[in-house]
Structure 1
């Protein structure tokens, strides 16, 4: 039984390696059956020959690639809203736009106040990305937008092929395990199965991630409050009234500056005045000492 086990392990490993390199998987004729031990290597050679030359001649056939391309589409757009109290309503409308194109809101962050802002991440059908961006631009004044597309068709095909090969290798090992009669053979096959199951789970995780990224396009929307419009300058007056107004403005500006300077210097002036008064008092006492008192009789 051990030659069959070893041959089966070799077949499972060869099948998995063939899948990792992107070649087509075996059609199942290399699966170990209940025949004699010498038949397993022959079947493996036949299967390898069919993979190398499926039509009886010529080079090996490359795996079929799906006609539809797999792409990861990402975009971002910045929109300015006139009033701060409108930001929340515009963020809610972004969710309506996402659902209109087969998607939904996946992340959101808002801040209030005079400079309210919001960041909304939505997902839509990839074919509707441009239409969704145009609708989002209508929420206010568009500031900028960017869109990128990454073609992952080959990566998706490679992962799919590796998943199929890993599943076939596990099926082969399960068949060997059911026919094993020795404990040592069962332990070897069980360890190999555990490793193959771990590899398959990692590949399935990659497959799900790629499917999720290619199924919907990601759009990041940034909403911000428009800067306040400066007030229009007053029409400059001319003549006597214009001169009087400009003179009054200059006077009030100068008076304000003087008042500000005096207020800043006042604490220092008070301290200097106190020090000066103390100095004058001390000087007078030393210059004019008190007259001596007459001696008592």
Structure 2
């Protein structure tokens, strides 16, 4: 091969190498573009995750609202007539302690031939029905009332507000640590104190709801055989209730009228009889003197 042919071959090789290098560079840059875009998307996702910490409004996950996961507040009352109020009260206290609860109130009254006790119990929610049944077996059950209140939505709302408030508090503390001027420091300290106060208030409400849902309230009324129970709640409603109320009002009014009449009768006798005698004497005197006058 002559020199011109050798030179042509070398130039062709150099051109092919240069083209290959250009293709490699373009391929590398094309492969790097998705990585940069992915990094940008990851940064955006991280920013979105950080948004709730700054108090941003984001849709929350739907809470678990199955029947066994709901927050229910149980309250009940039961009236039992027993032979010995003191002994029955001791049994009620034992039932409460045996179920893992306690007595939160105890009011007793005793008089001539009658005694009553009003005991308030705090019982774990899962033992509520069994405790009511045990108390009802201590004597003759006369009245029972059970009420329930579903506070699930309140609990879920408080949990969400507490989480947001904690994130806002942490954000405020971070800004406070980075304060550069005295004015910023004072303003941020005031804001952090306000957020701490709001968080404490929300946590107090949550603890109150947790207490009500964890421990049910049962009011036990014990009566001895001679005690009279207030039957105001047993009065009939509607026409019969109005008729009974009107009749009772009439009897009360008649009693008041007779009482007033009995109080006035002695005064009527003491003042009315002399006044009547004086009036009769004046009339007779006028009849006697009337013909003498022209």
For residues 179-198 of structure 1, what are the structure 2 equivalents within 5 Å? Answer: 179-198=178-197
What is the root-mean-square deviation of aligned Cα atoms in Å?
2.1
Q: Is 1:121 the equivalent of 2:90? A: no
- Shift in Å at residue 198 of structure 1? 1.3
TM-score, with structure 1 as normaliser: 0.56
Aligned twin of 2:226 = 227
Cross-structure match for 1:158: 157
State whether residues 65 and 157 of structure 1, in contact with CA within 8 Å, keep that contact through their aligned partners in structure 2: no
Please tell me whether residue 88 in structure 1 is matched to residue 73 in structure 2: no
What's 2:80 paired with?
A: 79
CA distance in 1, matches of 2:190, 2:220: 50
Q: Is the 8 A contact 1:105 1:123 kept in 2?
A: yes
User: Does the 8 A contact of 1:72 with 1:217 survive in 2?
Assistant: yes
CA deviations on 1:209-233 (whole Å, 9 max, x unpaired) are 00100001110000111139xxxxx
**Structure 1 segments unaligned to the other structure (5+ residues):** 1-25, 32-43, 53-59, 229-297
Q: Structure 1 residue 65: deviation in Å?
A: 3.5
Aligned position for 2:106? 108
Question: Which structure has the greater CA radius of gyration?
Answer: 2
Q: Equivalent residue for 1:175? A: 174
Matches of 1:98 and 1:30 in 2, distance apart?
45
* Shift of residue 125, structure 1, vs aligned partner: 1.9
1:103-139 alpha-carbon deviations (Å, 9 max, x no partner): 1111101122321110100121222222111110111
Count residues with an aligned counterpart. 177
- Could you list the per-position Cα deviations for residues 179-228 of structure 1 after superposition, in whole angstroms to 9, with x for gaps in the alignment? 11101111111111121111111101101100100001110000111139
Work out whether residues 111 and 117 of structure 1, in 8 Å CA contact, stay in contact via their aligned partners in 2.
yes
Moved over 6 A (4+): none
Find the residue that maps to 1:102 and give its secondary structure.
coil
Aligned equivalents of 1:65, 1:124: Cα separation in 2: 25
**Secondary structure of the corresponding residue to residue 181 of structure 1:** coil
Structure with more of its chain in helix, by fraction: 2
| Distance in 1 separating the partners of 2:50 and 2:169 | 12
Partner of 2:265: none
Distance in 1 between the 2:60 and 2:203 partners? 25
Offset of 1:29 from its aligned partner?
A: 5.7
Please report how far the alpha carbon of residue 28 of structure 1 lies from its aligned counterpart in structure 2 after TM superposition: 3.4
